[in-house]
Amino acid sequence: MTSRSKYAPWANDLIREDPMFGKDLFADESHFDLRFVEDYEKITEIVEALRVLNMRVVLTSGSFDIIHEGHSMYLEAARKFGEFLIVGLDSDEKIRQRKGPNRPAVPEMERLRMVTHQRGVGLVTLKQVDHPRWSLIDAVRPDVLVATADTYTADEIAELEAKHCGRVEVLDRMATVSTSARLRRLQLGLTEWADGSGPGPGQQLPGSSA
Which domains does the chain possess?
Answer: 31-187 (3.40.50.620)
Instruction: Please write the tens of the pLDDT for every residue from 96-144.
Output: 999 899 889 899 999 999 999 998 999 999 999 999 999 999 999 999 9
Q: Residue 76: pLDDT above 80?
A: yes
18 band by pLDDT with thresholds 50, 70 and 90? low
3-state secondary structure of 176: coil
This prediction's pTM:
0.79
Q: What are phi and psi of 147, to 5 degrees?
A: -150, 165
Please tell me the least confidently modeled range out of 73-77, 123-127, 187-191: 187-191
Average pLDDT over all residues of the chain: 82
3-state secondary structure of 204: coil
User: Could you tell me what percent of the chain has a pLDDT over 90?
Assistant: 58
Question: Can you tell me the distance from the alpha carbon of 180 to that of 170, in angstroms, rounded to the nearest whole number?
Answer: 22
What's the mean pLDDT in 49-56?
Answer: 92
Instruction: Please write the tens of the pLDDT for every residue from 154-178.
Output: 999 999 999 999 999 999 887 655 5
Q: For the residues of 89-124, what is the DSSP string, one character each? A: EE-HHHHHHHH-TT--SS-HHHHHHHHHTSTTEEEE
